[in-house]
Amino acid sequence: MADDTRILCPTEGIQIIDDITDQFGIETMEGKIGLLIQGVGCRSQFFDLPPGLYTHEHPHPTESIIYTVRGRYVLVTGGQRHVMNPGSLFWFGPEIAAGYEVPFDEPAFILIFKGDRGQEREAFVDHIQNTLRPMFERDAAAGEAFWLSELPPDHPARVFARDVNPDGGW
């Protein structure tokens, strides 16, 4: 996989990615994260969520539209859980808390669209590598769960996981 496989077209103002699932990304406690395309006033990025992942509900400052490319995962917001399947799409507004759980045997690949351009590519990579990843590692060392298996058996995420995937071992 190349470090940067976007294709810049000969026509100004156009970028193409032939395969969004085979792009440079950074491994974190929340899965592999990568920036895909930045437009003038928007951007797209991806998360490749590993099986067994658990992220608690947490807000983001900007709104997002999230499309499920492959795999399944559980969207959690307001304590409510919903299984997201390939082709599922959802929106959340600024400062709305959402979490993700992957109680399935396969990873889930999600495509995120944001209505702001955000940081330049180099700053985005630096932020993931040198701010988010170390923060997640500190949080994990301090006891924050990033895996369903780290939660108590009666935690709502594990109870739901057993309901939607009884053979998953959660």
Answer yes or no: is 8 within a domain.
no
Answer yes or no: is 35 within a domain.
yes
**From residue 68, how far is each of 64, 74, 115, 169 by CA, in Å?**
13, 11, 18, 24
Q: Which residue has the tokens 């690949």?
A: 109
Domain with 59 in it: what CATH number?
2.60.120.10
Q: What are phi and psi of 113, to 5 degrees?
A: -115, 130
> Do the beta carbons of residue 67 and residue 88 sit within 8 Å?
yes
The per-residue pLDDT for range 20-35, each reduced to its tens digit, is 999 999 999 999 999 9
For the entire predicted model, the pTM comes to 0.90
* pLDDT band at 11; cut points 50, 70, 90: confident
State the total domains in the chain.
Answer: 1
Residue range of the domain that includes 111: 25-164
Answer yes or no: is 150 within a domain.
yes
What is the edge-to-edge ordering of all strands in the sheet holding 80-84? 54-59, 97-101, 73-77, 80-84
Answer yes or no: is 16 within a domain.
no
Answer yes or no: is 13 within a domain.
no
Mean pLDDT across the stretch 23-51? 95
